[in-house]
Amino acid sequence: MIVCAQDPISQLENAIAEKVGPQRYKVWFKNATRFTFSNGYLRVGVPNLFIGGWIEAHFAETITEAAHQVTGHRPEICFSIDPALAKKMRKKQPDSQVAFAANNPEREARRQIRGGCVSPPRPRKGRLDNFVVGAPNRMAHAAARTVAEQPGVQYPPLFIHGGCGLGKTHLLQGIANQLKDSRPDLVCQYVTGEDFTNQFVYAVRGGNRDTFQRRHRNVDVLIIDDIHFFANKRATQEEFLHTYNAIDAAGKQVVMSSDAHPKMIGQLSDSLVTRFVSGMVVKVESPDPETRAEILRRKARRMSFAVPEPVVEFVSNGLRTNVRELEGALLRLLAYTQVSGEALTVEVAGRCLRDLIEQTVPVIKLSDIESIVAILFGLTPADLHTSRKTRTIALARGIAMYLARKHTDMSFPEIGRFMGNKDHTTVILACRRIQGLLDAEQDARWVTPTGERRRKITELMEELEEQLGKAGGSS
């Protein structure tokens, strides 16, 4: 499916390795990515959403640069899940990824201090007028629109939550872009939870706390994406609480997004949770078939790709995952039809997307489960894949495995393989242990930086299942 001549993929991989250095390349790219060029796009296959998200957040610009070096133009990058890659990763690779992710804010801040700069913001493409509205996201879209039209009036604060790839970032960027166009007089600051953390660490180390506070507090609208990144970062939470209070007291607007409901973000301070739920909290659900079909039609139109209506229906019924996956499927169809010269029929689409349709559904659902469980325990999904066995990780991993077994069609070996190459007996034992706790209605106990936490496991499970049910993916 490679469109360019003479193995540009190896050239691209070499160029990336040169830019990011051998260690990062080994941790994040080797065995963990598969690149494909097609029609101006560069598709990056990744084993799971965590790695995709990490690469997108940290290396998107580097990859574009490397591709520019190799091909002479800057392709659009698109990520898609490639389950086969999970098997290819080295056994210890998830451990290195976790270590990297855990150390990142400080390390990143050090790098920025050395370089004397904070990395340039990436372009924000999301717009409210090209967001496809359907029943599952109507409320969130309407709230975003209201805020963009009259910031600070109706909903200070607005909190949008929902599963990965369902359009939260798109909506937040849409607010920022609309404000930039229609209200250039207002100061609108858009930042990710991770950038906020990095900039804060950088400011404290560099003695520039005042500048940091001015930048984030003297605004008309502060938009923070992926605020669950604050879980278990106490100093950042403390700082954000003051930021929040300052903006709120001035009658200005705060908009936030997260993969989970504020109450389900483990280790978020009670004062923050109380403030978050005092405003408008809306959820984006998984798109229904009609919304999926309309998203496909629009994306295809933008790519000038004629997709017959029966194929649109076939793909939107077969791929019930998130919107990012739909984009990946469309790119694959485009590349396939261009290379093979075949006309795009339902039969061709079925052949070309067979593995996605057969495999991605459960894999994506497991990603949703992992993400919700990880956020609750203040971990990253990759923590669940490691071989580390702290009480918190073991409990979180057990709960994720139990939920995967109960709510997906995956077998024990499949769950084990996806969750960091674990043996199927590990999964069986973990599920039994959780079932035992549930039957005995015992307390789940785990450790956080602020001490031991205890919750009745039946209640905990009910809340997680409610999140999952609402998080969709079960359509």
- Binding residues for Mg ion (CB under 5 A): 168-169
Task: Verify binding: residue 158, ligand ADP, rule CB under 6 A.
Answer: no
- Which CB atom, from 303 or from 348, has the smaller least distance to ligand ADP? 303
> CA-based Rg of the chain, rounded to a whole angstrom?
22
Residue 126 interacts with which of ligand ADP, Mg ion, none, CB < 5 to 8 Å by class? ligand ADP
Alpha carbons 372 and 379: distance in angstroms, whole number: 10
Break the chain down into helix, strand, coil percent, rounded to 5: 60, 10, 25
Count Cα neighbours of 417 within 13 Å in the Cβ-side half-sphere: 15
**Cα angle for residues 379, 381, 383 (degrees, 5° grid):** 60
| Part of the chain binding ligand ADP (CB under 6 A), chosen from 7-15, 247-255, 323-331, 442-450 | 323-331
Task: Verify binding: residue 58, ligand ADP, rule CB under 6 A.
Answer: no
Among 75, 152, 165, 362, binds ligand ADP (CB under 6 A): 165
The enclosing H or E element of 443 equals strand 443-448
Task: Verify binding: residue 405, ligand ADP, rule CB under 6 A.
Answer: no
Residue 165 interacts with which of Mg ion, ligand ADP, none, CB < 5 to 8 Å by class? ligand ADP
Kindly identify the residues of this chain, within the stretch 107-136, that bind ligand ADP according to CB under 6 A.
Answer: 126, 131-132
**In the complex, what is the shortest distance from the CB of residue 173 to ligand ADP, in angstroms, rounded to a whole number?**
8
DSSP helix/strand/coil, 119: coil
Please, are residues 15 and 64 in contact by the beta-carbon 8 Å criterion? no
Kindly identify the residues of this chain, within the stretch 264-303, that bind ligand ADP according to CB under 6 A.
Answer: 295
- Which CB atom, from 168 or from 365, has the smaller least distance to Mg ion? 168
CA 65 from chain center: how many Å? 23
Among 93, 97, 137, 237, binds ligand ADP (CB under 6 A): 137
**In the complex, what is the shortest distance from the CB of residue 275 to Mg ion, in angstroms, rounded to a whole number?**
21
Task: Verify binding: residue 167, ligand ADP, rule CB under 6 A.
Answer: yes
DSSP helix/strand/coil, 268: coil
Kindly identify the residues of this chain, within the stretch 170-209, that bind ligand ADP according to CB under 6 A.
Answer: 170
Task: Verify binding: residue 323, ligand ADP, rule CB under 6 A.
Answer: yes
Which distant-in-sequence residues (6+ apart) come within 8 Å of 196 by Cβ? 216, 224, 236, 240
Concatenated DSSP letters for 136-192? GGHHHHHHHHHHHHSTTTS-SSEEEEESTTSSHHHHHHHHHHHHHHH-TTS-EEEEE
Residue 56 interacts with which of ligand ADP, Mg ion, none, CB < 5 to 8 Å by class? none
Q: Which residue has the tokens 């991993």?
A: 397
Task: Verify binding: residue 461, ligand ADP, rule CB under 6 A.
Answer: no
Binding-site ranges for ligand ADP (CB under 6 A)? 126, 131-132, 137, 164-170, 295, 323-324, 327
